[in-house]
Every structure is written in structure tokens, then in C-alpha cells.
Amino acid sequence: MSTLLNRIGSANTYDSAIRNIAARQSALSNLQENLTSGKRVVRPSDDPTAAANAERALNRLSRIATDQRALDAQSNAIRQAESTLGTVVDVLQKFRELTVSAGNGINSAFERKSIAMEMQGLRDQIFSLANTTDTNGLPLFSALGSALQPFVGPVSTAPDYSFKGLPGQAASNDVSIPFTVDGDAAFMLQTSRDGVFNVQLGIGTSTLKTDAVVVKDPAQLTPGSSYAISNISPPVVDPIAGTSYVTYDVKETLANGLPGATLSTQRGPDYPSIGGTIAINISNVATPVPPLPAAPLTTPGLSFNIIGTPVAGDSIKVTPSPSLFSVLDNAIRDIGSASSSNSASQAVSQALHNIDIGMSRVSAVRGQAGDLLNRADRIASNQQGRSIQLEADRSNAEDLDVIKGISDFNNQQTGYSAALQTYAKVQQLSLFNYIS
């Protein structure tokens, strides 16, 4: 029976113990680094796939943070614009209250001029608010782009005020809202959309008044044209129909100041009795219609009513108001220059009607600004949810399970301690210990 004898030298045992200690020490050091950093993947070589996933999540988190900073800046600008429009509405309300007080029949011409001066201060404040800039010096109401001062005026030529920019409202997307609000929609008026006209009584017209202009068919009107109604006849009784009617001439002035066509001897619609409400209808005067005995216009471009009985020499001027500032200027001029309570009453009624239209435009755009702020809140909420999800993805890819890490560290520390003790025993082995 043969016996297999294996002989292992002490040097080999020593080398094996050293390698074991080094491996244990390296593993213990790695675990200690994981515990102190709180990460399972400290460097890409630890887990290339997890490192790539974590880097992708970090890049997306950085993009969300950048988008959120931009959204905060946009929200601040829109919030300032919404607040400014709220201030404009408040100032317009004060302007309206002064307009109402100017219509008091006991006011003298001097008192009306004093009220007009106070109204001028409010008008200047509104014009300044319309050109407000943000903290970067950019206009809040520049729409799709404008000069540093979007609204300019008044000028002597028509239109008296203009918007120096590109009207419209920039669209929002999934992560941002516009920086600016459409000031053109807030402060500029359009004949086809708003139908704002100022009706002035001619010099010497002291017994008539009119109501507000109603636009019935914008296609019948030339944009920017004003109209002068003259030669208004006293009511003529139609013996056959048993009603009354008036005749009048209409002269158009184009937006560029050039004279347009003239319609002579137009017959107004019949009304029941002398002294009633007389409807004045104006169509596209660039296409003259036959004079009397033509029937009244059935589809006029605009219409308004005369209250009172016209006399020889009465005249009326109808002028479009291209902006809210034009409405305010007309009110200040007509109230301040009113020589009688009748003309003051005419100026006040026209101003109140047109101010209400302008205020509704400002309030509508303010509502749009509020919608943008609500959208910004929804975007921020969505971005926060995405950030939480991406942070969870990054944590799952690279963060350390602390409980498991401490357990592995303790186990590795125990193994390292055992390797040191084994090395100490191996180091003591020598053949000379057994030679007596």
C-alpha cells in the first residue's frame, strides 16, 4: 500500500497568506468607500450599465432644473404683466368715475376743465403702464416682438397711436410659457372687432345727442375712415305712410387723411313721430348708392341714433378710436372743451361706452395672463413629478443599500481579521522550532 505525501513549503504558505490579506484589505477599503460615499457605484468600472443609467438620469435632472429656472423667469415676467394690467383696470375705473362726475349738470365749464386735467394725469399713468419693462429692461407687452417702447403717440396723423411691434401671443410648450403678453390685443382697438367710434357734435349743435355707434357689418366699412354727417334736415312727414324721416349727407375721410366719397341726400329710416329716435346708417361710401327716393339701407356698416329734433346747421362727426389711449384722449378733449351741459353729456356718454369696451379688452388679456400663470404652475408640478421619478431611477442605479453595505462591511472586516490572525500563525512556522 503506497502513501502519497505532499509537501508544501512555508514560503508558499506565507505568500498565500499575504495575497489573502491584500485581497481582504482591498475589498474592505472598497466597502468603506461605498459606505462613506453612500453609493454602490463610485466609479464607472464598478458597474458600467448602472453608471450609464445614473448619468442619463442626472443629465435629465439637469435639463429639468434649467427649464425650471427659465420657467421661473417667465412666470415672474407674466406675473408682473398681470399685476400691471390689474393696475391699469384700477386706473381706468378711477378715470371712469371722473367721467361720470363730469356729466353732472351743475358743473361749470371751469369745473369740467379741472376734471379733464385730473383725467389727463390718469391717462399718462395708463400710457406709462402700457410701456412697462421687466427687470431686464424688456417690455412686458411686446407681443411677438416690438421696439423697447411698444406704444407711441399721440401723433398728428392717423392713427394717433400705434403699436411698434408684431401683434400676437407666443404659444406655450410642454416646459415653458411666453415671456411677454400681447399688448396690441390689450390696448389697441379694431373697428371690426371692437367697433369703437367717437361721435362728436358739430359746432352750434346744441339740442341733439346721440347714443353709441353699433357696427353691424364691418365689411361695409373702410378701415380707419371717419365720417361727417351734415345737412341734417328737420323731420319730414310722409303723408302716405304717416311717419317721419330725415335726410342727411355723409362725407368720408380716409385713414390717410384724403377725402373719400360723398353720399348726398340720404334718407334715414322712418320713425313713428317727430322728436323720436332717428337712426343714422352709414354704409361703404366708396360705393355710392342712388339718392332719394332710394329706400333706407337694409345692411348698414354702422348705425347710431339721434335723440332730439334736428335743426338747420346741425352736424355730427364719427371718428374711429384705434386705441384705448385714443378713447381717453377723446374723453379728456371733449369734456374739457364742452361749452354746454348738452355737449358735456354727449362727451360723457360716448366716453363711458368706449371706456367700457377698452376695459373689457384689458381684462380679457389679463385673464389670458392668468391662464399662462396657471399653465406655469401645472408645468412646474409635472416637472417636479418627473424629477422625483428620475431621482428614483438614479438612486436605484448607483446608491448603496446602507443596511446591506454595513452587513457586508462587518463580514469583510471579520474575514480580514481572520486573515491577519492566520498570517501571524504562518509567520511563526519554522523547521528550527522542532530541532532540539
Compute and round to an integer the Cα radius of gyration of the chain: 43
Share of the chain above pLDDT 90, in %: 33
Query: How confident is the model at residue 352, as a pLDDT?
Result: 94
Contact 182/365 with Cβ under 8 angstroms? yes
Sheet holding 259-267, edge to edge: 197-201, 316-320, 226-230, 247-253, 259-267
What integer pLDDT is reported at residue 236 of this predicted model? 74
State whether residue 345 is helix, strand or coil: helix
Q: Which of 33, 6, 47, 7 is nearest to 398 (CA)?
A: 47
CA dist 243 and 279 (Å) reads 14
CB within 8 Å of 329: residues ≥ 6 apart: 123, 154, 160
pLDDT score of 366: 95
Inform me whether the pLDDT recorded for 294 exceeds 50. no
Mean pLDDT over 380-397 rounds to 84
> In the predicted model, is pLDDT for residue 403 greater than 50?
yes
The number of C-alpha atoms within 13 Å of 142 and in the hemisphere containing its C-beta is 17
Residues 417-423: what's their mean pLDDT? 68
Read off the pLDDT of each residue in 106-115 and give the average, rounded to a whole number: 91
Total-model pTM: 0.77
Lowest-pLDDT range, 17-31, 242-256, 274-288, 297-311?
274-288
Q: Is 53 left (phi over 0), alpha (psi -120 to 50) or beta?
A: alpha
**Which triple of cell numbers denotes residue 290?**
342712388
The single-letter code of the amino acid at 135 is T
pLDDT of res. 290 = 45
- In 311-414, the DSSP E strands lie at 316-320
pLDDT band at 93 (very low <50, low <70, confident <90, very high): very high
Whole-angstrom distance, CA of residue 162 vs CA of residue 221: 20
Q: How far apart are CA 391 and CA 280, in angstroms?
A: 71
| Residue 159's pLDDT band (cuts 50, 70, 90) | confident
pLDDT at 242: 64
State the average pLDDT over residues 309-332: 89
For the ranges 131-145, 281-295, 302-316, 382-396, which has the lowest average pLDDT? Answer: 281-295
Average pLDDT over residues 356-369: 95
pLDDT at 371 over 70: yes
Share of the chain above pLDDT 70, in %: 74
Give the amino acid at 102: A
What is the per-residue pLDDT for 221? 79
pLDDT in tens, 207-256: 788 888 888 888 777 888 888 888 887 777 767 666 677 778 888 888 87
Highest mean pLDDT among 96-105, 189-198, 276-285: 96-105
Give yes or no for residue 170 having a pLDDT over 80.
yes
